[in-house]
């Protein structure tokens, strides 16, 4: 068998850069209540001296690289970002998927270097916040402070979930959990989920592309995944649970 995970995707031809959308206007931000500054007073917000910039990241563009000096955090206004860990043998593993309202680059709060590479999977609008500004706010605003702790907790909970649900059991077990996970992470008002490409799916559960492909293809044949066009699918939760009997357990 040997290793799982995925090799580095060749330097994509379409890896365009992020485009700057201008200074953020947090006071009038439409998603402010869903992200870090939700409960912050306007007064407190004004205490930020450093600029917060907005960017639009096309798919495959990089928010930051592993080992880069961590100077900024990012909040996701819309889109989807993967945190990729580079293993010693050159393979990759996706350790987290982050979406609207999530914070990327938390480690910048503590200085040092980024621990992963953050890559946009879908077009993503993000606000780039200087870590120094957040540190200052963190010290002054209990509301933000609590929000930050909750962000840490959220990352930790998801990491643990990734260990117990996405890295344990047979490929079919993992894909079953992955589909539920993706539905939560990418669903729109209709409840449809956006499937990632096979390489990313494989890197999320630590198996080979062909193995995921077989299982996903099976799910489609069984009507567990019904194509809605593009990469969007309707997930039949009931059929999903019944799929291949329970976990054989033991």
Bridge partners of 82, per DSSP, are: 97, 119
Contact map string, positions 172 to 191, toward a copy of itself, x by CB under 8 A: -x------------------
Helix (H) or strand (E) holding 150: helix 142-166
Decide: is 26 part of the binding site for DNA (CB under 7 A). no
Report CA 75 to chain centroid distance, whole Å: 11
Q: Report which of 103, 100, 98, 67 is spatially closest to residue 83, judged by C-alpha positions.
A: 98
171 binds DNA (CB under 7 A): yes
Task: Select the binding partner of residue 199 from DNA, a copy of itself, none (C-beta < 5 to 8 A, by kind).
Answer: DNA
CB-based contact 143:40 (threshold 8 Å): yes
Selection from a copy of itself, DNA, none that 107 binds (CB < 5 to 8 A by kind) is a copy of itself
Q: Quick check: 88 binds DNA (CB under 7 A)? A: no
**Using CB under 8 A as the criterion, what x/- string covers residues 93-112 for binding a copy of itself?**
x-x----------xx-xx--
Q: Does 232 bind DNA (CB under 7 A)?
A: no
5 binds a copy of itself (CB under 8 A): yes
Beta-strand runs (E) in the chain: 6-7, 19-23, 53-57, 62-64, 72-78, 80-86, 91-99, 103-104, 117-120, 124-130, 193-194, 225-227, 232-235
| Residue 208 touches DNA, criterion: CB under 7 A | yes
Which among a copy of itself, DNA, none contacts residue 85 (Cβ within 5 to 8 A by kind)? Answer: a copy of itself
Burial of 53 (0-12, 13-18, 19+ CB in 10 A): middle
Exactly one of 65, 135, 136, 214 binds DNA (CB under 7 A); which one? Answer: 214
> In this structure, is the dihedral angle defined by the CA atoms of residues 17, 33, 96 and 112, taken in order, positive or negative?
positive
* Contacting positions for a copy of itself (CB under 8 A): 1-5, 7, 85, 87, 89-91, 93, 95, 106-107, 109-110, 115-116, 138-139, 142, 145-146, 149-150, 152-153, 155-157, 159-160, 162-165, 167-170, 173, 206, 246-250
């Amino acid at each position: 068998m040997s290793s799982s995970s995925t090799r580095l995707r060749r330097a994509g031809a379409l890896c365009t850069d992020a485009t700057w959308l201008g200074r953020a206007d947090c006071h009038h931000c439409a998603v402010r209540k869903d992200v870090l500054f939700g409960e912050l007073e306007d007064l407190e917000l004004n205490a930020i001296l450093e600029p917060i910039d907005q960017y639009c990241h096309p798919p495959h563009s990089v928010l930051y690289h592993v080992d880069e000096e961590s100077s900024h955090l990012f909040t996701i206004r819309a889109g989807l970002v993967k945190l990729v860990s580079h293993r010693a043998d050159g393979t990759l593993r996706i350790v987290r998927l982050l979406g609207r309202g999530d914070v990327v680059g938390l480690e910048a709060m503590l200085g040092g270097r980024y621990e992963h590479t953050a890559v946009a999977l879908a077009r993503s609008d993000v606000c780039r916040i200087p870590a120094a500004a957040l540190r200052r706010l963190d010290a002054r605003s209990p509301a933000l402070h609590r929000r930050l702790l909750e962000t840490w907790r959220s990352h930790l909970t998801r990491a643990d979930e990734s260990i117990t649900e996405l890295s344990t059991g047979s490929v079919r077990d993992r894909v079953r959990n992955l589909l539920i996970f993706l539905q939560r992470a990418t669903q729109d008002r209709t409840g449809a989920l956006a499937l990632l490409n096979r390489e990313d799916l494989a890197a999320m559960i630590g198996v080979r592309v062909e193995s995921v492909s077989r299982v996903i293809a099976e799910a489609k044949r069984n009507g567990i995944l019904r194509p809605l066009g593009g990469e969007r699918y309707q997930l039949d939760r009931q059929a999903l649970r019944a799929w291949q009997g329970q976990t054989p357990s033991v």
